Structure 1
C-alpha cells in the first residue's frame, strides 16, 4: 500500500470517495483507505505536524504497489510524456479514465499520476476532484448547493483531450456514461453505506462524513455525465489544447 499525508480533511475525503466510487463503477482507480500512521514513519510531514501533541496522523492509503517502470519509460521529460500518453490512449483505461475525470471534475491528470502495473493503467491522485463540494459541504442539504456540484466543470480534462487528439474517430468515451448507469445502484449503495461509517475517533469520523457527501455528489453527477462529456468533446478548452501534456501548477 502507498501511503501519503494530506493536510486537509476535505482532500482526504475526496481521495477516499473517489476510490470507493471507482470501485463501485469498476473503474481503474486503486482501492483506498484511511491510515493512522505514526509520525516517525512519515519523514516528509511539516514540522508543525510533527510537533503536534499526538502520535498518529491521518493519511490516505492506496492499494497499489508502485511498479518499477523506469526502464520502460524513455529518458527525457518530453519523450516520457509522449510514451505515457501514447500507451494510455491505446489502452482500455484511456477512455474510461477520460470519462472518469469528467465525472469527478478532475483537472489534475498528468503522466506522473498514471501508473502501469504490467497489465493495466491505474489512475491515482484525486486531491483536486470536485472542489465545489468542499465549498458547499455545510449547505449540501439545500438544492442550490447540490445543483452547484452537478453543474461543476473542471477547467480542463487532460486525458479526454489526449484521447480526442490521438483517437478522434474511435475513442469511445461517449459510450461509457450509459454503461456506467447500469452500475449506479452499486454507487448508491456505497454512498448509503458511507453514511454509517464510524470509528469513534473524531477526526477520522469527520473525514468519513465528508467522504459520504463526496460519494453522494458523484452519484448526483452521473446522470449529467453524458452531457458534460459531450460538451467537453465538442469544445475542449483552449487551455487543455494548448498545454495538454503538462501537469497543472500546484
Structure 2
C-alpha cells in the first residue's frame, strides 16, 4: 500500500546531505514550513545552498537556519528586510554567499527546472548589474536575458491538506512557491496541517499531484 506519510520531520530529513541544494517555500512567513526547517537545522547538514523568496525574519525559521551555520549560499529575491539582521551580519562578515534574483525570474527559473526546459528568456534585469555577463538576445525588438533553470536535491514546502499518496491542496496565499518547487526537486517533503483519506480532496482542488511529492509530514494544530 502506497503511503508517503512520514512520522516525524526529523526522519524526513535523512535525505538531506552536505552540499545539497534545498528549495524552501514561503513568502515571508506565509507558507513557510517552519517545522521542517527546524528539523533541517537538527539534521545539521553543511554547505547547503538554499533557494527561497527571502533570507529570513527575526530569529525563527529560515533566519534560524542561516544562524545555524549550515548554509553556504542563498539564492533569493529579498535578502534584506527590517528584521533580516541575521542575514545582514553573515553577509557583511563574508560568511554567506548571495545570489539576488528578481522575484518573477526566480519563479520562472524554478518552474523551468520542474518543466524540463533548458533555459528561459526574460526582459527583467536587462542592462543592470544583476545580468552582467549573461547571454542576451533581441526578440521582436525586445531585449532579453537568458536565465538557467533552478533544480534542487530537496524541496521543503507547506500545504494545507495532503493524503497518503502525497496529493496536496493549499490555503490561499500560503500556496506561493510550493507547487513549482515540488516539481523542480528530486525529493519533495511536504508539511501539512492534516492528512485526509484518499478521495477526500476533490480532484479539482489538488494543486500538487502526489507524483511530485515523496514524503508528507503532518504537524497537527499548525495553521497553513
Which of the five TM-score ranges fits, normalised by the shorter chain?
under 0.3
Higher helix share: 1
The structure, 1 or 2, with the larger RCO (C-alpha pairs under 8 Å, 6+ apart) is 1
**TM-score, normalised by the number of residues in structure 2:** 0.25
**TM-score, normalised by the number of residues in structure 1:** 0.23
Higher strand share: 2
